[in-house]
Each structure stands twice: as C-alpha cells, then as structure tokens.
Amino acid sequence: MNALAEDLVTKHGTKCHIVTIDLAEADAAEKLMAEIEKQGVKIELLVNNAGVGLIGEIETTALGDIQRLLNLNIITLTDLTYRVLPGMLERGHGAVINVSSVAAFQPVAFMAAYAASKSYVLHFSEALWAEARGRGVTVMALCPGVTQTAFFEVAGAPGWLEKHSSQTPFRIVKSAMSALEKRRQYVIPGWKDYLMSLLVRLATRRTAVNESKRYFRPGKRGPQDDAQKS
C-alpha cells in the first residue's frame, strides 16, 4: 500500500493516507470514519470495493468464514454508506459506488452466501439511487464479471481464471467512471456479462441455479469438466 501511495503521488500528485483496518470486523466502519474525521476530510466519492468470495460445499464450509464474508460484503458496506450519504445530501453533491457482481442477478450454487450478498448490494444501491438522484447525489452498483485479480485464488478456486476470459481492473474502473458520469443506477462492464445477466432472467430460476453448479462445484473448473446432469 505504501508503494502504491508513493506511485500515485509521483505520477499524479495524489495525496494518499493509508489506514490499516480489518473491514470484516464489526466496528470497522466506525474506526475508519473516526480516522477520516481526524484528517478533516469531506468524502466526495466513496467506493465500497472491499469484498471476498467463498467457494465450497456445505459440509466443508466454516461458519466463521461465512460470517466474515457477510460482515465485509454487507455490514461494513452498509454502515459506511449510511455514514457518508447524509453529508453528501446536505452538500448537494457526491457519489457512492458499491461493488456488486454479475452474480447478483442469480443464485449461485457453492457460492450461496457470496451471490446473495452481492444481490443485497445491488438492490440496496438501486434503492438509494432512487432516493438520492434528485438531490445531486448518485449511488451506483458496479457489477463486474470475472476480473483479473486474485479473487478466485482467495475464494478457493485456484486456476479458475486460466480457463475463463476476464477483464482487467483498468477496464472495469473505466466503465464504472463512465457510468457514474451518466448517473446510472448500475453498470455491468462488458457486453458478454450484460447479456448473461439478461439470459438468466429469461431462464427458470431452477435452470439458472442448476447451471451454476456446473461452473463452481469444488474440484470442477468449468462446464466441460462436469459430466453430472442436473
């Protein structure tokens, strides 16, 4: 983080203040906001990007890991959003980007808690978008698909990116900022992921969730690997 901060200062003159906090802890948002208040900073753009995934079968999934996932993906995100929005609304400008996922549009087997948490982020953000849009403030859900990060390594599916095309973080950020300028309520970067979000709406819910088993079954890395018929 220090190296990244130095790089931003050198290339763009951007001042960075690094705060080390575990955002999966229950009081993370309170601690972070206290640090921001010490700096005397007014937040003009909040990006709730921190999140974690978890891939696994019911019997092998640790409840503690699920609780931390929900704390990070839902509780801290919600807490920070509600702490920051009132100031933005009072000033009449500002924006919040909540990072959801293309997985928010359907249930995903073996990633049940993750997909459900991202559905929450999508619906939560869209509702706040409607409330704030006439007051100079935009709340937008960013719903990327597979992205070239360490997400799947951490989630429990090493090597998954090797068999699936993915977008770069740069392209995701570019799409997000373009959509934010247009005050969109949500954006799905990439036409393939956008099309997929529409297709799962046309399919029956049973079909959609059964298809997801072919992709995320632990030990499987794609539909070509799974001979089981749902």
pTM of this structure: 0.88
Query: Where do the structural domains in the chain lie, given as residue ranges?
Result: 1-41, 43-219
Contact 123, 116 (CB under 8 A): no
The strand pairing partners of 46, in sequence order, are 96
Strand pairing of 186-187 and 137-142?
parallel
How confident is the model over 121-162, as pLDDT tens digits? 999 999 999 999 999 999 999 999 887 777 777 777 776 666
> What is the model's pLDDT at position 222?
46
> Would you state the pLDDT for residue 72?
96
CATH T-level assignment (fold) for domain 43-219 = Rossmann fold (3.40.50)
Under-50 pLDDT residues of the chain:
221-230
**Do the Cβ atoms of 185 and 141 come closer than 8 Å?**
yes
Tokens of 204: 């029956």
Tokens in use for 212? 């997801």
